[in-house]
Structure 1
Amino acid sequence: MTDARRPEGLLLDAMGTLIGLRRSVGSTYAAFAAEHGVNVEAEAINAAFPRLFRAAPPLAFPGLEGQVLQAAEQRWWVELITATLQACGHHDALPAGLGPSLFEHFAAAEPWQVYDDVVEYLRRWRDAGLKLAVVSNFDQRLHRLLEALELAPLFDAVVVSSQVGAAKPNPLPFHKALELLNLPAASVWHIGDSPEDEAGARAAGVHCVLIERHQPAGTPGGAA
């Protein structure tokens, strides 16, 4: 990379780029379901979840904020959890606490791992003077998750789709990140792992670099 092409800032996807799950989606969902008296096979969940995740509406809620936004975020995930278990043969109403308990579980550090090379590169980029921001198709839990994983201090901004009101490949999350970093699109690169990352970055005029990580079973390929 020549000096002329050196970016002044980097936008980074979260799930599948910076962090990933320690266990498969199916193993976690099945364990929580069993605690609530619902018996489903982890393998069936791993087969159904990526398809239903991809088919779900964008995790974005234009015009909502505060507790109303928080409720909408949790409802989005509970509906996805419900659809996943129904696809695995459980057609009764879910126990009231199952969806919310899974929602809270994934807000904590325990289910997640920071990929081995992430902290080293983030520190190297910061030391080189680059501005860094996360751009993720996720909800407000990502803010406290990054704090719990001790990544938050390494970023100048965190943009999540639920708060900005649009999800990748919509360019709006990228525009918001550029605004927060006070940088033009031409001086910023995006690093992600999904077609949504590439398409959204292109629509925003940002150069995109795609990477590939090993992911546990049931993780949507290239989840943004």
Structure 2
Amino acid sequence: MAPRGLLLDAMGTLIGLRRSVGAVYSELAASHGLAVDAGALDRVFPAVYRQAPPLAFPGLEGPELLAAERGWWGERIAEVFAACGQAEPLPPQLAGELFDRFAEPDLWHAYADVAGPLETWRQRGLKLAVVSNFDQRLPGLLKGLGIASAFEVVVVSSAAGAAKPDPRPFQLALEALGLEPGAVWHVGDSPEDEAGARAAGVRPLLIRRPRPATPPPHGAGEP
């Protein structure tokens, strides 16, 4: 049976980075007098990101949620630089500057095969939502990339209070769309997408995009 709605992952499914995480980290670090190799940063980032606690903050909203997101990323940024041999504390402004830089749409792109299908699905009457292990920067990025209007709701793990593979973000999207799990498919690119969708009773569809030499953060995407 054809679905009545689609839930879509963001990073690696709808959008990707134009430059590597390491390149951006290295560039902004250099503006503070720190010389850290971009390649080294790219090599350590995936492990730091995978080992981090979930980007999810139950019960928080507004300024408190934003502070928690910035704090979470500040810890990851410090860990990445420490893993590259940066023993001294980072300049206090650097983490905030990196968080803000990854909120700027020019650093991202919507994949070339995204806009056409989104329009086709909307014309067919499908309800569309984004479900992503991301933070509150994502809606602004989707808007800046010209695809936000396709979606009725954007669920990010930080505000949902749970991250994929937990089913809660999927359940929140289903509630917002007013659809039952059996009427919806989820399109993503990771094991967390598949496991979370199945846990929520949603049919998962995985796509396999060509991977960069060093994977960017999944999902914030994410600095």
TM range (shorter): over 0.9
The one of 111, 130, 133 equivalent to 1:134 is 130
- Aligned with 1:208: secondary structure? strand
1:119-166 per-position Cα deviation (integer Å, ceiling 9, x unaligned) = 000000000110000000000010111111111111011000000100
CA distance in 2, matches of 1:57, 1:27: 24
Query: Counterparts of 1:149-168 in structure 2 under 5 Å?
Result: 149-168=145-164
Give the TM-score, by structure 1 length. 0.95
Query: Counterparts of 1:111-122 in structure 2 under 5 Å?
Result: 111-122=107-118
1:212 deviates by 1.4
- 1:188 alignment partner in structure 2: 184
- 2:95 alignment partner in structure 1: 99
Query: Counterparts of 1:55-134 in structure 2 under 5 Å?
Result: 55-134=51-130
- Aligned with 1:216: secondary structure? coil
Corresponding letter in the other structure for 1:179: E
CA distance in 1, matches of 2:106, 2:30: 19
Which 4+ stretches in 1 moved above 2 angstroms? 214-221
1:220 deviates by 4.5
- Aligned with 1:150: secondary structure? coil
Corresponding letter in the other structure for 1:33: A
Query: Would the aligned equivalents of 1:21 and 1:215 in 2 still touch at CA under 8 Å?
Result: no
Corresponding letter in the other structure for 1:8: R
- Aligned with 1:11: secondary structure? strand
CA distance in 1, matches of 2:13, 2:52: 21
Query: Would the aligned equivalents of 1:157 and 1:177 in 2 still touch at CA under 8 Å?
Result: yes
- 2:214 alignment partner in structure 1: 218
- 2:6 alignment partner in structure 1: 10
1:78-103 per-position Cα deviation (integer Å, ceiling 9, x unaligned) = 11011000000001110011110110
Q: CA RMSD, aligned part only?
A: 1.0
- 2:205 alignment partner in structure 1: 209
- Aligned with 1:191: secondary structure? strand
CA distance in 2, matches of 1:24, 1:139: 19
Corresponding letter in the other structure for 1:92: E
Query: Would the aligned equivalents of 2:7 and 2:173 in 1 still touch at CA under 8 Å?
Result: yes
CA distance in 1, matches of 2:115, 2:158: 26
Corresponding letter in the other structure for 1:158: V
Query: Counterparts of 1:9-28 in structure 2 under 5 Å?
Result: 9-28=5-24
Identity %: 58
1:217 deviates by 3.9
Query: Would the aligned equivalents of 2:20 and 2:216 in 1 still touch at CA under 8 Å?
Result: no
Number of residues of Structure 1 aligned to a counterpart in Structure 2: 219
Query: Would the aligned equivalents of 1:24 and 1:217 in 2 still touch at CA under 8 Å?
Result: no
Corresponding letter in the other structure for 2:49: F
CA distance in 1, matches of 2:60, 2:34: 33
CA distance in 2, matches of 1:215, 1:98: 28
1:216 deviates by 3.3
